Amino acid sequence: MEQFLLDAARDAIVATLKVAAPVMLIGLIVGLIVSIFQATTQIQEQSLHFVPKIIAMLVSLILLGSWMLTVMKELTLRMYENMLRFIGL
């Protein structure tokens, strides 16, 4: 029983990382590119740093949203299918 709960928790953490990682990595890469651009051109405008990151992350959510929904749906279905095992029946 304990192993089952640990496996369920591990599956939830892995699914969360699979869903969040692409968007966060895109934000990280775009932020790094903008920071390098700001450092080379010596432009220190704060809004220049956030706007491209927000736009890139929104575009990635639009493009990857269906895949993210599929991953979360599969996890939810597995959790509901095994709900009786969670409560010990």
pLDDT, one tens digit per residue, over 34-61 is 999 988 998 888 778 889 999 999 999 9
pLDDT at position 28 over 80: yes
Predicted local distance difference test score (pLDDT) of residue 89? 66
Q: How confident is the model at residue 3 (pLDDT cuts 50, 70, 90)?
A: confident
When divided into structural domains, the chain yields a total of: 1
Here the tokens at position 43 are: 């432009």
Those residues with Cβ within 8 angstroms of residue 74's Cβ, 6 or more apart along the chain or in another chain? 15
* pLDDT, position 87: 77
The pLDDT, as a whole number, for residue 77 is 94
pLDDT above 70: residue 2: yes
Q: Tell me which residue range forms the domain holding 39.
A: 2-86
What sign results for the dihedral spanned by CA atoms 80, 82, 87, 89?
positive
Q: CA separation (Å) from 56 to 13, 52, 70?
A: 25, 6, 21
Question: pTM of the full predicted structure?
Answer: 0.78
